[in-house]
């Protein structure tokens, strides 16, 4: 890629084993991000749009190079004995690169959230008050495996006027570098600072530890990965965290479920892509339909190659194995599902409350009263009715892309798009107003 800055040459192109002083490296990234954030906060919507469209064009133009870089990562992943589902998360081909391009373009076309007036009112004192969206500042994103997150996170932070420091997983190192170079070229073309989107240029885990404590430079951390990563971040971060916990996703087949919808939704929710956080991991079946809809769904899952860990009372294929306590609340991220009969919607809700991660849960039913109860009594970030949990994705929610699914209850929750990466400030106007 042409036009590489001196700072990039110093940090990005240096061999990893030459990077000795991680604290100094991270401080430098933080300082540059802070400066870039100040410029980006007031950048016009047009320039940010141009940067994203430019990056999308470069990604497509450089797709062969990106796929070649990805091949190195796949080789590394194979050497680390990553599971087939994890290798699928890691793999890039032309259709997936086209999806990255489409995501960049979709984010570019989203309304610019910065400066949006959220509320406005007048006080008897003569004050005119506005609450307006404002960037968070500098965001640190720590993610695993999926190289497309490099583009998604970079794009959303840019759109929302934030600088970002990206730290991808060791397994996606080469892919992330290739994609990041495209984002940098888009920024250059739009006359925006390249430092607005930076990538930590080392696999050294000490860089993560450093990023979590950079309170002088980083305003929020977004972890996107498995339980181990998110737990580490939550334990050790001194910077505020948007938590993206495991996708322990439940589907409840109510006694009033439509057979066709049940079959199609459950199969898609489990098998479309098993390695994503919206994949179904546990199936709860009302006892009244165990021998009908439930059996048909389990048979179809087995025919699709899904390993079923079933609790007593379920009928289905002979290949089912007994479920154990370890199967409840487990994120398989693989072609495996736990299944259990329940006596009522109340029992289903109680099970979900005990074992879910507040990510996404679904009910399949034609009973509107059951839907209202399910939606009212569960507090997951996303609740679905008669829809595949694989739709738990910011792009599918009309956000263009997402930086993750926030499962906490502070500030952003659910898919985190550009608007969720902003805070707000109050603009107060008077005409010589004084307080009595």
The end-to-end CA distance of the chain, in Å, is: 63
- Cβ atoms of 222 and 142 within 8 Å: the answer is yes
Joined tokens for residue 237:
């971060």
Query: Which secondary-structure segment (H or E) carries 133?
Result: strand 128-135
The C-alpha atoms of residue 230 and residue 235 are separated, in whole angstroms, by 9
CATH for 6-242+416-427, among 3.40.50.261, 3.40.50.300, 3.40.605.10, 3.40.50.800?
A: 3.40.605.10
**Domain ranges in the chain with CATH number 3.40.605.10:** 6-242+416-427
Question: What is the Cα–Cα distance from 367 to 415, expressed in whole angstroms?
Answer: 27
Q: Of how many residues is the chain composed?
A: 436
CATH of 249-391, one of 3.40.50.1100, 3.40.640.10, 3.40.190.10, 3.40.309.10: 3.40.309.10
User: Residue 341: which H helix or E strand, with range?
Assistant: strand 336-342
Looking at 1-118, list the stretches that DSSP marks H as alpha helix, in order from N- to C-terminal side. Answer: 6-11, 22-40, 45-61, 63-79, 84-90, 94-109
Which residues of 145-217 form beta strands (DSSP E)? 163-167, 197-199
Q: Where are the alpha helices (DSSP H) in 237-336?
A: 259-271, 295-303
Rounded distance between C-alpha atoms, residue 191 and residue 46, angstroms: 11
Give the pLDDT of the chain (436 residues) as one tens digit per residue: 334 333 343 344 444 444 569 999 999 999 999 999 999 999 999 999 999 999 999 999 999 999 999 999 999 999 999 988 889 989 999 999 999 999 999 999 999 999 999 999 999 999 999 999 999 999 999 988 789 999 999 999 999 999 999 999 899 999 999 999 999 999 999 999 999 999 999 999 899 999 999 999 999 999 887 778 888 888 999 999 887 778 899 999 999 999 999 999 999 999 999 988 899 999 999 999 999 999 999 999 999 999 999 998 899 999 999 999 999 999 998 999 999 999 999 999 999 999 998 999 999 999 999 999 999 999 999 999 999 999 998 889 887 778 878 887 777 788 888 999 999 999 999 999 888 8
**For 192, what's the count of Cα atoms within 13 Å in the CB-facing half-sphere?**
35
The pLDDT of residue 16 is 44
Measure the CA–CA gap between 178 and 18, rounded to whole angstroms: 20
Give span(s): CATH 3.40.309.10, the chain.
249-391
Per-residue model confidence (pLDDT) at position 230: 81
Cα–Cα distances (Å) from 296 to 96, 148, 270, 290, 385, in that order, read 33, 36, 15, 9, 20
Instruction: Render the burial of 211-243: b for 16+ CB within 10 Å, e for the rest.
Output: bbebeebbbbbbbbbbeebbebbeeebebebbb
Question: Which stretch of DSSP H or E encloses residue 154?
Answer: helix 148-159
């Amino acid at each position: 890629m042409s036009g590489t800055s001196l700072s990039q040459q110093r940090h990005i192109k240096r061999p990893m084993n030459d990077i000795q002083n991680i604290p100094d490296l991270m401080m430098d990234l933080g300082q540059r991000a802070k400066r870039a954030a100040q410029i980006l906060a007031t950048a016009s919507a047009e320039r940010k749009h141009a940067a994203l469209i430019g990056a999308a064009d470069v990604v497509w133009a450089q797709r062969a190079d990106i796929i070649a870089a990805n091949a190195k990562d796949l080789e590394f992943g194979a050497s680390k004995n990553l599971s087939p589902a994890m290798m699928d998360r890691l793999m890039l081909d032309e259709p997936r690169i086209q999806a990255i391009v489409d995501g960049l373009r979709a984010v570019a076309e989203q309304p610019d959230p910065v400066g949006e007036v959220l509320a406005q009112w007048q006080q008897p004192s003569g004050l005119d008050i506005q609450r307006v969206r404002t960037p968070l500042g500098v965001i640190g994103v720590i993610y695993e495996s999926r190289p497309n997150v490099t583009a998604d996170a970079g794009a959303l932070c840019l759109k929302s006027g934030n600088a970002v420091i990206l730290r991808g997983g060791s397994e996606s190192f080469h892919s992330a570098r290739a994609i990041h170079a495209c984002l940098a070229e888009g920024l250059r073309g739009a006359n925006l600072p390249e430092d607005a989107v930076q990538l930590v240029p080392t696999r050294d885990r000490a860089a993560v530890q450093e990023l979590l404590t950079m309170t002088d430079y980083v305003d929020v951390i977004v972890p996107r990965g498995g339980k181990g990563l998110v737990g580490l971040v939550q334990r050790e971060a001194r910077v505020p965290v948007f938590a993206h916990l495991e996708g322990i996703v439940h589907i409840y087949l109510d006694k009033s479920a439509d057979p066709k919808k049940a079959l199609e939704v459950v199969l898609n929710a489990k098998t479309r892509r098993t390695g994503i956080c919206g994949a179904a991991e546990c199936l709860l079946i009302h006892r009244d339909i165990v021998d009908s809809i439930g059996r048909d769904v389990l048979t179809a899952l087995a025919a699709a190659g899904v390993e079923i860990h079933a609790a007593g009372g379920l009928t289905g294929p002979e290949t089912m194995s007994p479920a154990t306590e370890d199967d409840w609340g487990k994120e398989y991220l693989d072609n495996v599902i736990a299944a259990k009969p329940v006596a009522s919607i109340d029992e289903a809700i109680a099970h979900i409350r005990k074992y879910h991660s507040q990510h996404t849960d679904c009910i399949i039913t034609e009973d509107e009263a059951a839907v209202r109860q399910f939606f009212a009594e569960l507090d997951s970030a996303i609740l679905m009715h008669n829809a595949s949990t694989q739709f738990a994705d910011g792009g599918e929610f009309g956000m263009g892309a997402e930086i993750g699914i926030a499962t906490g209850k502070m500030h952003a929750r659910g898919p985190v798009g550009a608007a969720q990466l902003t805070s707000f400030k109050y603009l107060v106007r008077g005409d010589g107003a004084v307080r009595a």
